[in-house]
Amino acid sequence: MAVGAASKAAVQAGARTRAGSKVKRNQVPYAVAVIAVVAVIGIWLGGQKPVLGLTWIFGILFGFVLQRSRFCFTASLRDPVLTGSTSLTKGVIIAFAVATAGFAAIQYSAVLKGAEKIPGFISPVGIHIAIGATMFGIGMVIAGGCASGTLMRMGEGFAMQWIAIIGFMGGSLWGAHDFGWWSAHFFQNSPAIHLPSVLGWPVAVFGQLLLLGILYWLADRYEQKRTTFLS
């Protein structure tokens, strides 16, 4: 009877236990303490400036969702070649598609209201993107996490990411230092191209969503092929 009750309790605690498992601690009290700290800081920040309280909450939510879903942008780009898995790739495509739709609505309504500058992140495109993105891709794989991944893993207790952030900060400062040089030699001669402004809204928006859909389907087919070949 005692065994039955113990294993039922274990199911409630969320895990089966085999003989020899370590005693697990309940960390929820610590979570409550963190919630209290988060709330206090949030209220203080909101009092300083509402947008600060807002970005604080968004940060918490982003971190929470990233960790809960083990969402790793690094793996979405690395795994298709390294392990043949595209499940995260598909998750990223879903995120892109959802965001595209919402961003299109935000941008379009801004244009309708006569906005001078289209809202969003629209930056000069040129060889600097190729170089920088390649550097970033290499870096994120060997560091064990990208920008969001590094922050997430700092919160999860990975000492490695507490080291990575130091390199990240140093590289950022170095890049900020060289930014003027890159600007003079590359950015100034590179156009910022907003696809809907060039291709027209219907073509650009539906074209992008269609492309994402095709990439999703390709990712799915690719994983099936790679997996059947291996087994």
Q: Does 161 bind another protein (CB under 8 A)?
A: yes
Q: Is 36 in the site for another protein (CB under 8 A)?
A: no
189 touches another protein (CB under 8 A): no
130 contributes a contact to another protein by CB under 8 A: yes
How far is residue 112 from each of residues 87, 108, 153, measured CA to CA in Å? 38, 6, 41
Q: Classify each residue of 179-197 as buried b or exposed e, where b means 16 or more C-beta atoms within 10 Å of its C-beta.
A: eeeeeeeebeeeeeeeebe
Interface with another protein, residue 179, by CB under 8 A: yes
Rounded Cα gap, residues 44 and 145, in angstroms: 31
Residue 57 has phi, psi (to 5 degrees) of -65, -45
Binding pattern to another protein, positions 86-125, x when CB under 8 A? -xx-xxxxxxxxxxx-xxx-xx-----------xxxxxxx
Q: How many residues of this chain bind another protein (CB under 8 A)?
A: 148
Q: Are 88 and 71 in contact (CB under 8 A)?
A: yes
Told to check if 188 binds another protein by CB under 8 A, we report no
Q: Is 30 in the site for another protein (CB under 8 A)?
A: yes
- The CB-of-60 to another protein minimum distance in angstroms stands at 4
Q: State both tokens at 172.
A: 């950022």
Quick check: 1 binds another protein (CB under 8 A)? no
